[in-house]
Chain A
């Protein structure tokens, strides 16, 4: 579209402004009214360690222990999903790839459910993320292996094997839930977990997702040139000096870790990984030098605005976050599918 380098600073300014505007409004927004100045006092108290007598304890608890972790998790989960979508689209050279479409998110969910079912989650807060990581990794490598042969990735096979993988993962989750219904404690935990979302998330969750997403992002920055080259195909990338096997393996590990982290904290939230990188690619062009930081900001913005949207309009109904992102993302996915079909004549 209009990917002129003149627009790039403008788009980044816009993204950063939106990012902060949304984070601040999310801090202000909640079922109880806490004024901006009070929030400022609370934050500055905890940052500068100066005791402020005018702060009310329950307000401090709401801001520091409920709203702040919720916002941070929303930002990082969204960022992580968008970054993973970006990386997968680049690796598979296909704008339709994303963690949810390729069955990676459901693989992470299955891993997490297995962790709960086996009781591993009771021993360590890292059990769910670890199992989610393994589930996501197995799903992604299986889909990848099925879809690529001799350096060529077939779009049809990729999407179909992603669909099949998702179906299999979802079926396995249902099976585990059905088996565990006799043990209500476990079943309740599984149901609660599969609903996902941002409610009741604490600093423990922040400490799971924050380090993984930040270090993953830094790793990805090192691969920004190689991602550009991979977009041209395996033979091109190899001939200009990319160790394709190694790059793919590392990118696969990084994106799986990020999907695992975000799914284990907020559950399966679909389509952010598909929609955000795609829109940014239209705005900024295909260079990952710009797309990586932009996806970080864009994914954070997308998930936080979906959450704000729910909190503002449907505060009384408990609508899962994934419903909003899917309601917006699924039509977009269909649109892309039709567009690509018309562009290439076939899939």
Chain B
């Protein structure tokens, strides 16, 4: 698959995304307390944790889709609540987990929506917007689908359309919620490779992932979310795949045992067994 690495990013940015002392409770039940995270330019971060741990919730907090009870989310050192949604969209792109597209937009129209934060209410796409839209479709291997209606696509194709939309947004940071959950193995790999190549050219990617082996293989850094000793949810472990994927974490948070192998500086799990 041809991958175009030319991304226009401003240089010498402050920290793309940070959160400080984040507290969030849902239905009066505290879910997160005192979450501190910062993400650097060009990092590929994998958010891992068992079902229901709160990976999606954390992503939505970082995006400002959910309001925190206290603490702050900083985008390029600016408090997210002080920014308009259009300004946030220029900084942060998001690939949501659920894709339901009941209306018959074409692939091209949908990817073009990524340019929305840059265009006025009546403004049409300029040639450079069109170029970025086409580039995003090329990167995600959907150029041949561009005149198809999105409601006729397969799950995997839809997922790639949504990723292309996020790429067209040209944001320095991209958040993805289970982007490979509905993809076949080949597209899982190409999608993660694509995200990895984007991070190599300076984009920051934060991705919720279920597959620990793929997470370990592609991500520079893993963040494990799970139940803490006091029962609340929090960050259990944050570091390189080798640091996070240890026997204790696998047992306590995923209820599995596995042989942890390290080869060529890459961690992977073999002989995975359920402990339940």
Task: Spell out A's residues near B (CB within 8 Å).
Answer: 3, 93-95, 151, 221-225, 228-229, 231-233, 235-236, 238-244, 281, 285-287
| Residue in contact with B117 in the complex, picked from A93, A224, A240, CB distance below 8 Å | A240
Contacts of A3 in B (CB 8 A): 104
Instruction: Pick from B91-99, B137-145, B183-191, B258-266 the stretch touching chain A.
Output: B91-99
Size class of the B contact interface (CB-based, 8 Å): 35 or more
Q: Which residues of A contact B110 (CB under 8 A)?
A: 232
Question: How far does the alpha carbon of A235 sit from the alpha carbon of B162 in the complex, in Å?
Answer: 12
Is the beta-carbon distance between B116 and A229 smaller than 8 angstroms? yes
Q: Which residues of B contact A238 (CB under 8 A)?
A: 63, 65, 85, 94
**Cβ-defined partner of B101 (8 Å) among A94, A222, A232:** A232
Q: Which 5 A/B pairs are nearest by Cβ-Cβ distance?
A: A241-B89, A239-B94, A241-B117, A241-B86, A286-B103
Residues of B within 8 A of A223 (CB): 121
Apart from A240-B116, A243-B85, 13 more pairs, CB < 8 Å? A93-B102, A95-B102, A228-B113, A233-B98, A235-B65, A236-B113, A236-B162, A236-B165, A240-B165, A241-B85, A244-B85, A285-B104, A286-B104
Are A285 and B86 interface neighbours, CB within 8 A? no
| Cross-chain contact A236 with B96 (CB below 8 angstroms) | yes
A239 and B103 in contact (CB under 8 A), knowing A229-B113, A287-B109? no
Interface string of B158-199 (1 = CB under 8 A from A): 000010011001000000000000000000000000000000
Asked if A235 and B94 sit within 8 Å, CB to CB, the answer is: yes
Docked complex Cα distance between A215 and B116 (Å): 24
Residue of A nearest to B124 (CB): A289
Between A and B, 11 residue pairs with Cβ closer than 8 Å are: A221-B122, A225-B116, A232-B113, A235-B65, A236-B162, A238-B94, A240-B114, A243-B86, A244-B85, A285-B105, A286-B104
Those of B68-108 within 8 Å (CB) of chain A: 84-90, 92-94, 96, 98, 100-106
Query: How far apart sit A16 and B100, CA to CA, in the bound complex (Å)?
Result: 34
The interface residues of chain A, by DSSP majority, are classed as loop
Q: Which residues of A contact B87 (CB under 8 A)?
A: 241
Alpha-carbon separation in the docked complex, A224 to B93 (Å): 22
Give A232 to B122 CA distance when docked, in angstroms.
19
Contacts of B93 on A, CB cut-off 8 Å? Answer: 239
**Are B105 and A239 in contact, with the CB atoms below 8 A?**
no
Closest residue of A by beta carbon distance from B169: A240
Instruction: For B162, list chain A residues within 8 Å (CB).
Output: 236
**Nearest A residue to B26, CB-CB:** A150
For B92, B103, B106, which residue has the most chain A Cβ atoms within 10 angstroms?
A: B103
Q: A240-B116, A240-B117 are in contact. Are A235 and B96 (CB under 8 A)?
A: yes
| CA of A22 to CA of B165, assembled, Å | 43
In the bound complex, CA of A244 to CA of B162 (Å)? 19
State the B residues within 8 Å of A (CB): 60, 63, 65, 84-90, 92-94, 96, 98, 100-106, 109-110, 113-114, 116-117, 119, 121-122, 162, 165-166, 169
B103 and A241 contact, CB distance less than 8 A: no
Query: Across the interface, do A222 and B121 meet the contact criterion of CB distance under 8 Å?
Result: yes
Q: Which of A93, A241, A244 contacts B116 (CB 8 A)?
A: A241
Contacts A228-B113, A233-B96; A240 near B121 (Cβ below 8 A): no
Contacts of B102 in A (CB 8 A): 93-95, 231
Assembled-state Cα–Cα distance A3/B105 (Å): 10
CA distance A194 to B13 in the complex (A): 64
Of A94, A222, A224, A240, which is in contact with the most chain B CB atoms at under 10 Å from its CB?
A: A240
Residues of B within 8 A of A241 (CB): 84-90, 116-117
Q: Which of B87, B89, B92: most chain A CB closer than 10 A? A: B89
**B residues within 8 A CB of A239?**
63, 65, 89, 92-94, 96, 166
Residues from chain A with Cβ under 8 Å of B85 in the complex = 238, 241-244
Point out the residues of chain B lying under 8 angstroms from A235, CB to CB. 60, 65, 94, 96, 98
Residue in B closest to A231 when the chains form the complex, CB atoms: B103
Task: Please report the C-alpha to C-alpha distance between residue A151 and residue B104 in the assembled complex, in whole angstroms.
Answer: 21
Contacts of B101 in A (CB 8 A): 232
Cα of A223 to Cα of B116 in the assembled complex, Å:
12
Evaluate contact between A243 and B96: CB separation under 8 angstroms: no
B79 to chain A, nearest CB (A): 17
Known contacts A232-B101, A235-B94; A242 and B63 CB within 8 A of each other: no
Shortest C-beta distance, B234 to chain A (Å), equals: 22
Kindly state the separation between the CA atoms of A285 and B121 in the bound complex, as whole angstroms: 19
Chain B residues with CB under 8 Å of A243's CB are 84-86
Q: How far is the CA of A225 from the CA of B121 in the complex (A)?
A: 7
Docked Cα-Cα span, A44 to B90, in Å, equals: 55
Q: Find chain A residues with CB under 8 A from B113 CB.
A: 228-229, 232, 236, 240
A233 & B116 in contact (Cβ 8 Å cutoff): no
B90 near A286: Cβ-Cβ < 8 Å: no
Chain B residue contacts of A231, Cβ below 8 A: 102-103, 105
Which residues of A sit under 8 angstroms from B89, Cβ to Cβ? 239-241
Cα–Cα, bound, A281→B106 (Å): 13
**What is the CA–CA distance of A228 and B100 in the complex, to the nearest angstrom?**
14
CA distance A166 to B187 in the complex (A): 49
Q: Complex: how many Å from CA A238 to CA B60?
A: 11
Q: How far is the CB of B178 from chain A (nearest CB, A)?
A: 13
Complex interface: chain A residues within 8 A of B65 (CB): 151, 235, 238-239
